[in-house]
Amino acid sequence: MSTIVSNPEILGGTPCFKGTRVPLQNLIDDLEGGDSLEVFLEQFPSVSREQATAVFREMTAALVHKVEVEHAA
């Protein structure tokens, strides 16, 4: 089950953490800007540590699958 959802009625379909109005992009922007996961979680208390780490697992799995598919072609 995905931790990220997209609903046209919530922030115009922007991918958000399930059960929140916190866009996934906020996590990516914070990390790219040098903030830690701790800082992100403090800024967005409606996102749990489990949700944030699940996103990393989901993104890793998607990337690995993409590379495997491309390699098999």
CATH at 64: 1.10.10.10
Partnered with residue 16 across adjacent β-strands are 5, 23
Q: How far apart are CA 73 and CA 66, in angstroms?
A: 11
If we measure between CA atoms, which residue out of 59, 30, 60, 33 comes closest to residue 44?
30
Residue 10 has pLDDT above 70, yes or no: yes
Domain of 64? 4-72
Residue 55 has pLDDT above 90, yes or no: yes
Domains: count for the chain: 1
The phi-psi region of residue 18 (left if phi > 0; otherwise alpha if psi is between -120 and 50; otherwise beta) is beta
What is the mean pLDDT of the segment spanning 23-43?
97
